[in-house]
A and B are shown apart, each in its own frame.
Chain A
């Protein structure tokens, strides 16, 4: 009996101590509030490739403003989405948090997630950013700024190649392949030279979004008109995802897979693993975003690599890599009790002496703050990446900028699965045939999109299919603000 009593006793002690500890901490924080006006600023996001710089920034910030305590939580994209939806729905949102991927600012503002930044920021702050950063529908609602982009929009579909492996395969590292045939040939030669030690190409094939990037951007370079702004094909002005340029990219990837040029682990690894293996010299090519550069330069200082544009059809380039408009990122919670301090944070984050510079120097991303890229882009590959994007990328029209109301259609839209990214992954694994699946996808997308437009119209929004079509779009030219007129 005595033993059991002890057990219960221990249980109670633990429960009591749990209660006590919370009481104590509550007391402590409220005491702190009274005496020094200490403010706890809660921030949550997923930008992990600069975590060390971010943390240093926070330390500097807290040193400069000792009354502000920063609580920073960083999650993966999926995890973030789950967490933030739960938190917001229970009225427990952090002070500053980004817009989850796939969601529209307008819908979130209407739902009471964010508040306008206008009362807390001045013209000097707004003036920090490059033109085009603030656009109605994307980062602004009714001419008021609600959200600030993290960095300049940048495709993540360029190719990094290993120069040393080029040489081992008897290829000229200064003359990377340009066309589909050349690219396939190079991958094959590298694979042959590797003889099981290294391969032509590696991808984080387990992640569908990596295949999505490839199919969207590479096929656009061949003139497909697929883009990330809306499901509507800019070239065909409908939902065609099975046109010739797209199928061509599928064929190319399929050929490379059938040649055995993909690293055999491609389909079972994630993008960070693929990046690490490329850094180890296990593959000739990898399709990745600019953030990889900072990682390689840190982890694999001996890696001798370059950047190249995605290959174009043998008949030549017929389009451009689509560059999106500035995408919203961080915003101020509607329920934030410390908007002033949050604004101060944003001011230091974008305008301060440290973060934007350090990040650009690391070669992680391109800043949206004026003058930073020009001065602090010091990493060779980051510059090359930038130049290639200037050459091969073009601004594409954004239906939301032309008419912010169309955001309603996105809220009503129910994505169709399997996506072209799923299908491309399936092709590489030898599990699916592209053409029939893409035809089905196009059909189902047509239905889903028509339903979304109908639903938006039923809600009283004045939208139609016309709002997603841009007759004056030229795939070889930037779509500028004048073109929207």
Chain B
């Protein structure tokens, strides 16, 4: 007996009543999360969607409905597109590195042969919890012209002159990516570790009996088994890197001259950092909504293309 639709039950009436019951249970199970979502995320999104059509400085008395004019202004602002582009560069730079390094570390510390694995796990995890403002300060020194990184590179004759990595328009983004990866790899490692636990030991035993070597086992068993959770971790990293704020704010504040300005710092600037003139909450909301909307459109196109080219359908949640 099974709950799924593919059940082999013959009596239709019984089946549909079971299905109805299951549907009910399913909705009961997702309702709590739905409520928390609706109240604290769905509702604010709707409100911000409304804000995005206002010319609004944050004062109750100064709201004027302006339709899509914030969006129009946004699309015409080259600095918005610069921030937009940077967000994606940042995402493209951080996500693969994080995934691969974290998987490698997870496999390493998961190995029963490695002694003190729990110590290493803790060490890898520690950057995740280190305070962002402190990381901002110390990274400026480590990556600064007289810092440790330059010292090593100069010693190795890789560089001729020191570079202040976080302040150099050519290097700032690269450096920010490296630091972000360092800070987040520990979290990714934990997700991978969780994924590794889901793989049945039987599979490894079978592979062992078949005489597969380490590399074969990894590519034919571990990797395919990790694929579903791997997709979730990828999604998680994509979302996290596209929304990056704290690290950029403390390390470069979007500089030098917008070289590391991402959509979050762009929004923050318009919402709270204007020097002359009022904050522009409506415009800031429009930037957030527009940014998300375009990502969703990308995602939808991606799904459609995937479905057309790949009839089998890659592993999905559905």
Interface residues of A (CB under 8 A from B): 78, 81-82, 85, 89, 101-104, 107-108, 110-113, 196, 205-209, 212, 228, 230-231, 264-270, 273, 410-411, 413-415, 417-419, 421-423, 425-426, 428-432
B272–A265 contact, CB under 8 A?
no
Q: Which B residues touch A207, using CB under 8 A?
A: 253
Q: Chain B 126-170, CB within 8 Å of chain A: the 1/0 string?
A: 000000000001001101111000000000000000101011110
Residues on B with C-beta less than 8 A from A82 are 271-272
Instruction: Enumerate chain B interface residues (CB-CB to A < 8 A).
Output: 57-62, 79, 137, 140-141, 143-146, 162, 164, 166-169, 251-253, 255-259, 268-269, 271-281, 283
Contacts of B168 in A (CB 8 A): 429-430
Residue in contact with B276 in the complex, picked from A102, A205, A418, A423, CB distance below 8 Å: A102
Q: Which of B144, B268, B269, B274 contacts A268 (CB 8 A)?
A: B144
Q: Which residues of B contact A415 (CB under 8 A)?
A: 274-277, 280
Question: A102-B276, A273-B137, A419-B275 known; A430 and B59 CB under 8 Å?
Answer: no
- Some 13 contacts from A to B, beta carbons below 8 A apart, are A101-B275, A205-B255, A205-B256, A207-B253, A267-B255, A268-B167, A273-B140, A410-B278, A415-B275, A417-B269, A425-B257, A429-B259, A431-B257
C-alpha spacing A138/B107, complex, angstroms: 64
Residues A413 and B277 in contact in the complex (CB < 8 Å), given A111-B61, A265-B167: yes
**Minimal beta-carbon separation of A151 from chain B (angstroms):** 19
Report the minimum CB–CB distance from A114 to chain B (whole Å).
Answer: 12
Q: What is the bound-complex CA distance between A53 and B169, given in angstroms?
A: 41
The number of residue pairs between A and B whose CB atoms lie closer than 8 Å in the complex comes to 133
Other-chain contact of B140, A89, A269, A421, A426 (Cβ < 8 Å): A269
| A82-B272, A410-B278 given; A265·B256 CB < 8 A | no
**Min CB gap B54→A, angstroms:** 13
In the bound complex, CA of A270 to CA of B207 (Å):
57
How far in angstroms is the closest Cβ of chain A from B242?
21
- Which B residues touch A269, using CB under 8 A? 140
* A318 CB → nearest B CB, Å: 24
| Set B144, B275, B277, B279: member contacting A209, Cβ < 8 A | B275
Q: How far is the CB of A217 from chain B (nearest CB, A)?
A: 14
**A432 — which chain B residues lie within 8 A by C-beta?**
257
**Cβ–Cβ contact B274 & A264, under 8 A:** no
Query: Using Cβ atoms and an 8 Å threshold, which residues of chain A touch B271?
Result: 82
- 7 closest A-B pairs by CB: A426-B257, A429-B256, A264-B145, A267-B167, A431-B257, A431-B169, A415-B277
Closest to A437 in B: B257
Contact partner of A111 (CB less than 8 A), chosen from B60, B141, B268, B279, is B60
Which residue of A has the minimal Cβ distance to B61?
A111
Closest chain A CB from B80 CB (angstroms) = 10
Q: Decide: B276 and A231 in contact? CB cutoff 8 A.
A: yes
- CB of B169 within 8 A of CB of A429, answer yes
Report how far A181 CA is from B281 CA in the complex, Å: 44
- Pair B277/A268 contact, Cβ less than 8 Å: no
Q: Are B255 and A264 in contact (CB under 8 A)?
A: no
A112 vs B62: C-alpha distance in the bound complex, in angstroms?
12
Q: Is the CB of B278 within 8 A of A411?
A: yes
Q: Are B79 and A417 closer than 8 Å at their CB atoms?
A: yes
Interface-central residue, B59, B140, B258, B269, by most chain A CB under 10 Å: B59
C-alpha spacing A264/B167, complex, angstroms: 9
A419 and B254 alpha carbons, distance in the complex (Å): 14
* Assembly CA distance A380 to B248 (angstroms): 39
**Interfacial chain A residues near B59, Cβ < 8 Å:** 107-108, 111, 113
Which of B143, B166, B276 interacts with A413 by CB under 8 Å?
A: B276
B61 touches A267 (CB 8 A): no
Cα A411 to Cα B274 in complex, Å, equals: 12
A228 to B277, CA, bound (A): 11
CB-defined contacts of A414 to chain B, threshold 8 Å: 277, 280, 283
Residues of A within 8 A of B144 (CB): 264-265, 268
Q: How far is the CB of A416 from chain B (nearest CB, A)?
A: 9
Measured CB to CB, the nearest residue on chain B to A409 is B277
Query: What residues of B have a CB within 8 angstroms of the CB of A417 in the complex?
Result: 79, 269
Residue from B162, B273, B276 in contact with A78 in the complex, judged by beta carbons closer than 8 Å: B273
Give the CA-CA distance A142 to B252 in the complex, in Å: 44
**Are A430 and B60 in contact, CB atoms less than 8 angstroms apart?**
no
- Chain A's closest residue to B139 (CB) is A268
- Whether B277 lies near A102 (C-beta < 8 A) is yes
List chain A residues, Cβ under 8 A from B164.
264-265, 267-268
Given contacts A273-B137, A410-B278, A425-B256, 18 further A-B contacts (CB under 8 A): A102-B278, A103-B278, A103-B279, A112-B60, A208-B275, A264-B145, A264-B167, A266-B167, A268-B251, A410-B276, A413-B277, A422-B258, A423-B257, A425-B255, A426-B255, A430-B168, A431-B256, A432-B257
Contact B62 A111 (CB under 8 A): yes
- Tell me which residues across on chain B come within 8 A of A425, comparing CB atoms: 255-257
- Contacts A266-B167, A429-B256 given; does A418 touch B79 at CB 8 Å: yes
Decide: A429 near B278, CB < 8 A? Known: A85-B58, A111-B62.
Answer: no
A89 touches B256 (CB 8 A): no
Complexed CA–CA distance, A425 and B261 (Å): 14
Q: How far is the CB of A46 from chain B (nearest CB, A)?
A: 13
Q: In the complex, A206 Cα to B258 Cα: how many Å?
A: 11
Across-interface contacts of B277 in A (CB, < 8 A): 102, 410, 413-415
Chain B residues in 8 Å Cβ range of A265:
140-141, 144-146, 164, 167
Give the residue name and chain of the B residue nearest to A426 (CB).
Answer: B257
The CA-CA distance from A400 to B255 in the complex, in Å, is 34
- Given the complex, which residues of A lie within 8 Å of B58, measured CB to CB? 85, 89
Nearest-neighbour CB distance to chain A for B102, whole angstroms, equals: 27
Q: How far is the CB of A198 from chain B (nearest CB, A)?
A: 11
CA distance A82 to B273 in the complex (A): 9
CA gap between A266 and B144 in the complex, in Å: 10
| Contact A81 B279, beta carbon cutoff 8 Å | yes
CA distance A112 to B58 in the complex (A): 12
A240–B23 CA distance with the chains assembled, in angstroms: 67
